Structures are given as C-alpha cells and as structure tokens.
Structure 1
C-alpha cells in the first residue's frame, strides 16, 4: 500500500486478505471447488472471496484454513479482517455527534502518544492552529457536511488539546508543504496570524517543524495528510472518510514515506525564512 493513494486503502486491504487466502489454498494443493466442498459452500463463494468481491467472515476464514491444514494462520488473518473493517469511517458517521465531540474523542489518543509524526499537504496541523484559523477550518467542515453549529465549542476543545505541546515528554515532528502557507482557507489577517504562530511554535523544545519547498526536486509527490501515533496507529483524513490504520506493515509504510518527505524539508532558520516570505506575500 502506498500512502499516496489512501482512498483505495480499504479495497487494497480486502485484496491483500483475498490474496493470502488464495496462497494458502494453492500451498495446500487444493482447487476452489475442493475448498467449497470441504466448507459446505457453493463454489462461487470461493471465487468471490478470492477476487475480493466478498469479504469473508471470521468463521469463513477459520473454515478455509482448516480445509487447507493451515489452522495456525487463521488468527492472523482474522486480525487483518478486523483491521480492515475498522479502518474506514465515513465523515458523517464520525461527526454525527457534532464537531466538539469529534475533537474530544481524540484526546485520549493524543495524551497516550509520545512520538507524533504529522504530514500535511493542505492545512496547518490542528496542534499548531490559532483559534481564528481553527474556526475558519471547522466552519468550512460544518458547512460542507451540514452539521449543527458547535464550532465555538469545537475550537475551544482543539485549543485545550494543544496543551500537550507543553506538557509531559511528548515529541512532535511536523511536516507541511510550502503550499499550506499560502492556501487561502481564511482571510489575510487570520492567515498572517497563523503563520506568525508557526514561527513561534517551531521554537518549542518538543517541536520539529519542517517545510517542504514548492520547488523541491522530489521523487515523491504530495500525499494526503496523515498522522503517525507512536508505532501503534496511523490516521488519514480524506474528503469523504477517515482511515484508521493499525496493521504494522502499513504503519511501517507510512513511517518510511514520512522519512522520505522529511529528507526534502528545510528546518530552523531556513523554514522560518520560508514562512516569513509567505507572510510578506500577504501584504
């Protein structure tokens, strides 16, 4: 899986599970008809599973592995199935209780995480947002999803969450594309205040801020924004969905991409110079 196309992550996860089941069948020297006969299924069910048109149930996976003499692989495959089922949440389902509840629900994850890695290709990350910038962003989300207006409460919750920048032994590595500094998600005054706040935040001892210049000669193009929480979880925010990824292999993929993007970024005084240039362009 490549983080440059996360909108297909669910289907790719389903196909990966199907491929593993097919490999188990082939390793056992069995045909799809023999699997179906052993499990008491119609043969077409095996075809639908192997072509990722139908997701197997946990009982299906156990029966398949038993028929192939591969009972020891069943629990790992079931873990993959559970991860696949939980990784895709539609925005309306996620936000059905309002923006404030959505903000509050993430707080335990942020509090228990020690090492944060965040990449953004279109917005300033929430932990670095000013109150005015956050209000502009959340108001846009509210209007696009036709949600109740609890933006003020949601902004207050987001601001409260930012205390973790100053507490405990958390470490933060933020990467943003230079275009984020110039995206007109708010009025010029709000954006200028946000950029000035970025400069201030970059001096915090817990924070590393890297900016990937627009003209970078790069082997990897901008991807969807994602957060890596320790080595336990990756969250990817899409237009229509919110992905939660917990498979170690996929987390490793995102960590590798984050390292590649980090190598293209500028830091310290060079990053502050890029931000200052963006501020000047507003005037």
Structure 2
C-alpha cells in the first residue's frame, strides 16, 4: 500500500534515494570516509546523506557516482532527487490567490500532452464537468479551505481548459468508479445534467469512457484519483496537497494500476446502462 500521506511519500522517496546511494557505495567497496575523501567533503556529510537527514544536491549525487565509478547512474538519481523536492506542494500555497489561477497553472502541460489517462474514484474529472457540477465542486473546495471567492471565474477557466477534449490530435482514456455517478454535488438537476453530459462525452471520438461497476469482483482496489500525461508524468490530488510524480519506476506503477482498473471497467452499452441507472435514482 502507498504511504499514508503526501508528506510521508516525500520522506519515503528521500529514504529510497539514500538507500540506493548506500548500495552504490557498498558495491564500490568504499567506506563512508573513503567516499568522503574522494568527494572532498566530511565523513559526517556522507552519513547524513545516507541516512536521509540531508538532501543531496545534484552536484553531490554526481560526485557520489564519480567516486564510486558509476557515473551512468547519476541522471536517474538526479531525477529522483528533483522529484522528491517537487512532488509535494501544499494546496494552501497553490490556492493562496484563489481557484482561478489554479485552473490555469497546468495549461502548458495540457497543451503539450497528446495522450491522457484519467482515473477518478471521487468526482467526475475536470475534462468532463458541466458548469453546474464544477460550480458546486469548486464552491465546496473554496468554502472548506477558506479561499477567496473567485468560483465563477474559476469555473470559466476550467471550462476553457476542458475545451481541449474536443480538439483533434489527443486521446482521453477515462475510468470512473460507479460510485462517482452517485455522489451528489449540487442538486438533482445539476447531477442529471452532469450524468447526461457523460453520455454525450461517450460519443466523442477522442474519448474512451469506462465505468467500474460497484459489483465488480476486484483484484485492483480503488485508489486515489490520478491523471497520467503521455505516460511520463502522474498528478494526483489528496486532500492537503498536489503530488507530481515523474520518476519512471513510479509512473510505471500507476500505468500498471490503470491497466488493472481498465480490466474491471465496462464500456459502451453497459457503461451507458450504469449512467442511466444513476440518472433514474435521482428521481
């Protein structure tokens, strides 16, 4: 199971990097003191890095690899180190100016991405949200976090960003847990409009929408919602943070999870039936 919080994920990433550096040193047959001499720093620094008490710089990692004659490993270690620094960004910092700017923050990423994989276990993904649903969701977020009230502007920005789903040259593989169809954000009219919009989205040539039935016998449990960009980056958003993942070995885990979740999903007529059933339950 993954660490229990984004902050523990960061610490786990740093500890994994430290453990790998220790393995490299031991494989090279060096003591901490010998490595320190070769790197030109104190033995205490080697110890702090190996015990994940001091985060190494990119230059530290390159020096470590040179000292151990494993320079080919430096690029991967540098990438892992940078991810540990940037993977966790507190929502309070991201949202300090309100929700509108947050909607615009990823526009360059969305613009250059050609293949999206989206799994949602809690809400309809932003790509497919109606203005009414987005308003209910973003207003709830703004209220919960005590943010400036720019919900109307944020909804407009989200709708503008979501227009990308209708542009050519991109694909969207989207998986929803059936429970997402039942969670009410907004009144029955808002939910009916949102569910109807999902039916329409299924007709878009760029969209593959699968629903994972609540009754499905599973080998892959429901996990946090996430988006994969061109199989190279994963973003997921727990309550207190935004987590960005770029380390290839971790991205692969999410791709594997997406593949397993895809096996549980139904498509086409079966998916439509689940959406229609959710619409009927509103009355």
Post-superposition offset of 1:119: 0.2
Q: Is 1:198 paired with 2:198?
A: yes
**CA RMSD, Structure 1 to Structure 2 (Å):** 1.9
- 8 Å contact kept, 2:38–2:67: yes
User: Which residue number in structure 1 is paired with residue 186 of structure 2?
Assistant: 186
User: Which residue number in structure 2 is paired with residue 273 of structure 1?
Assistant: 273
In structure 2, the CA distance between the partners of 1:5 and 1:276, relative to structure 1 (3 Å rule), is farther
Q: Is 1:145 paired with 2:162?
A: no
- 8 Å contact kept, 2:3–2:9: no
* Partner SS, residue 175 of structure 1: strand
- Give distance in 2, aligned partners of 1:6 and 1:195: 31
User: Which residue number in structure 1 is paired with residue 11 of structure 2?
Assistant: 11
In structure 2, the CA distance between the partners of 1:114 and 1:146, relative to structure 1 (3 Å rule), is same
Post-superposition offset of 1:97: 2.7
User: Which residue number in structure 2 is paired with residue 246 of structure 1?
Assistant: 246
Q: 1:100-115 to 2 correspondence within 5 Å?
A: 100-115=100-115
In structure 2, the CA distance between the partners of 1:174 and 1:46, relative to structure 1 (3 Å rule), is same
Q: Once structures 1 and 2 are overlaid, which stretch shifts more, 30-39 or 261-270?
A: 30-39
User: Which residue number in structure 2 is paired with residue 264 of structure 1?
Assistant: 264
- Give distance in 1, aligned partners of 2:145 and 2:4: 23
In structure 2, the CA distance between the partners of 1:212 and 1:104, relative to structure 1 (3 Å rule), is same
- 5+ residue gaps in structure 2? none
- 8 Å contact kept, 1:3–1:253: no
User: Which residue number in structure 1 is paired with residue 126 of structure 2?
Assistant: 126
- 8 Å contact kept, 1:3–1:223: no
Q: Is 1:88 paired with 2:112?
A: no
Q: 1:157-168 to 2 correspondence within 5 Å?
A: 157-168=157-168
* Partner SS, residue 222 of structure 1: coil
Q: Once structures 1 and 2 are overlaid, which stretch shifts more, 67-76 or 198-207?
A: 67-76
**Aligned residue pairs, count:** 282
In structure 2, the CA distance between the partners of 1:114 and 1:72, relative to structure 1 (3 Å rule), is closer
- 8 Å contact kept, 2:114–2:169: yes
| TM-score for the superposition, normalised by structure 2 | 0.92
Post-superposition offset of 1:38: 4.1
